[in-house]
């Protein structure tokens, strides 16, 4: 009987150990999967940052339309999140039409896609003679040919587009045929962590909002796509164009010209310089070395994900990356995985105009029909 008891205890101990290892690996797997999904999406979509737009309007640094007015280190019940909002021109969409200040009418065909109110449309004359970004005033059906639009400006937002009424009377906006302005969609993305789920059972999700205006990003908004679950920390920092002659980096003495990667940085997000860089400024021009959002050269992302459930036999340090990678919260029973990635903002360095290239009429060898 004693030998049997010893054998049974050994078997039970082995079984318990195996179960513990299996549970631990399963918990770790969920945290790693969330981190991989989040970084894969962030890397894919952020590469579009600023494509086909004036770099001054690619990154939105405004705080007026956030679920909270905290751009960095917003602390939720079980998460900490930064806010990263940006724009790019949809490279797969191009039409031609006219703009009279209140509506856009296509030369032929339809818009082909359904759009919600508040979506941005960029209209640019050939050769960039004039351009404007407008906002849809109502929902658009795929079969519509004419849409009413309004200003894309947002109050108190320093990165708002120029008021489009000024270009409505420009003769090229009424051009037709090969002289008609280009009509293009502008996509907006806002990345941040929000709580999702029933009250008392909410989990932190990294989500991507599809517009930046108040109607679409308020606390009751539904126009977003969940990206990854159990993201307890989302941190963004900005690699700025570095002035080789500057005695002090943009982020303060002893800094590295990366805004927001240290708690001692003098600024955590880019700003709006008094003189903003434009396409025709030389790469060595002083305006390209300011903390302006158009001078961002790469964006660094750090995420901390956790397991779905706790491990009752262990306590693990709960890391929070916000601004300081070494900062930690009290220990808990979750597994935590930290991941990071950096995406170059190569579109912001371009000095080429964002007007699509023209197809040579009647030349079968010129396949650049859609431009861009």
How many other C-beta atoms lie within 10 A of the C-beta of residue 371?
Answer: 14
How do residues 87-120 score in pLDDT, each as one tens digit?
Answer: 999 988 989 999 998 999 998 889 999 988 888 9
Contact 224, 182 (CB under 8 A): no
Greater pLDDT, 168 or 354: 168
* Average pLDDT rounded to a whole number, residues 307-330: 58
Q: Residue 370: is its pLDDT beyond 50? A: no
Among 33, 13, 11, 24, CA closest to 333: 24
At 278 the pLDDT is 79
Which of 43-68 are b and which e, b meaning 16 or more Cβ less than 10 Å from the residue's Cβ? eebbebbbbbbbbbbbbbbbbebbbe
Per the prediction, the chain carries an average pLDDT of 81
Task: Give Rg (Cα) of the chain.
Answer: 25
At 45 the pLDDT is 95
The residue ranges of every structural domain in the chain are 29-88+189-349, 89-187
Greater pLDDT, 278 or 56: 56
Q: What one-character DSSP code corresponds to residue 32? A: H
Percent of residues, the chain, with pLDDT higher than 90: 25
Q: Residue 279: is its pLDDT beyond 90? A: no
| Dihedral over Cα of 107, 183, 162, 218: its sign | positive
* Average pLDDT rounded to a whole number, residues 196-204: 85
The token pair at 261 is: 């990667």
* Average pLDDT rounded to a whole number, residues 134-143: 89
What pLDDT band is residue 62 in, cutting at 50, 70 and 90? confident
What pLDDT band is residue 207 in, cutting at 50, 70 and 90? very high
How many other C-beta atoms lie within 10 A of the C-beta of residue 334?
Answer: 21
Q: Residue 164: is its pLDDT beyond 70? A: yes
Q: Residue 187: is its pLDDT beyond 60? A: yes
pTM metric for this prediction: 0.84
**Angle of CA points 247, 256, 302, to nearest 5°:** 160
The Cα–Cα gap between 221 and 201 comes to 19
Q: Residue 2: is its pLDDT beyond 60? A: yes
What pLDDT band is residue 371 in, cutting at 50, 70 and 90? very low
């Amino acid at each position: 009987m004693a030998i049997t008891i010893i054998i049974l205890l050994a078997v039970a101990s082995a079984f318990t150990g195996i179960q513990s290892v299996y549970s631990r690996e399963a918990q770790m797997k969920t945290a790693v999967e969330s981190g991989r999904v989040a970084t894969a999406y962030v890397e894919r979509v952020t590469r579009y940052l600023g494509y086909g737009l004036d770099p001054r309007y690619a990154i939105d640094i405004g705080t007026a339309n956030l679920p909270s007015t905290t751009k960095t280190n917003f602390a939720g019940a079980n998460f900490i999140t930064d806010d990263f909002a940006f724009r790019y021109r949809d490279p797969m969409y191009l039409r031609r039409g006219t703009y009279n200040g209140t509506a856009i009418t296509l030369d032929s065909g339809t818009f082909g896609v359904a759009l919600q109110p508040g979506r941005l449309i960029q209209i640019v004359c050939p050769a960039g003679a004039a351009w404007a970004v407008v906002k849809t005033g109502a929902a658009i059906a795929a079969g519509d040919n004419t849409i009413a639009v309004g200003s894309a400006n947002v109050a108190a937002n320093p990165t708002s587009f120029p008021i489009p009424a000024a270009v409505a009377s420009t003769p090229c906006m009424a051009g037709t045929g090969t002289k008609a302005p280009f009509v293009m969609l502008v996509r907006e993305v806002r990345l941040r962590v929000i709580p999702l789920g029933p009250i008392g059972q909410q989990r932190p999700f990294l989500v991507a909002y599809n517009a930046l205006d108040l109607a679409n990003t308020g606390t009751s908004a539904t126009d977003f796509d969940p990206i990854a679950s159990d993201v307890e920390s989302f941190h963004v920092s900005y690699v700025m164009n570095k002035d080789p002659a500057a005695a002090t980096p943009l982020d303060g003495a002893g800094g590295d010209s990366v805004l927001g990667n240290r708690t001692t940085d003098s600024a955590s997000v880019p700003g709006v310089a008094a003189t903003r860089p434009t396409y025709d400024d030389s790469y060595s021009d002083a305006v390209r070395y300011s903390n302006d959002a158009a001078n961002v050269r790469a964006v660094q992302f750090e995420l901390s994900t956790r397991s779905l459930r706790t491990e009752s036999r262990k306590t693990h340090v709960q890391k929070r990356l916000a601004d300081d990678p070494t900062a930690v919260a009290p220990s808990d029973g979750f597994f935590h995985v930290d991941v990071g990635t950096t995406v170059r903002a190569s579109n912001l360095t371009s000095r080429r105009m964002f007007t699509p290239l023209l197809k040579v009429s009647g030349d079968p060898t010129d396949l650049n029909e859609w431009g861009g």
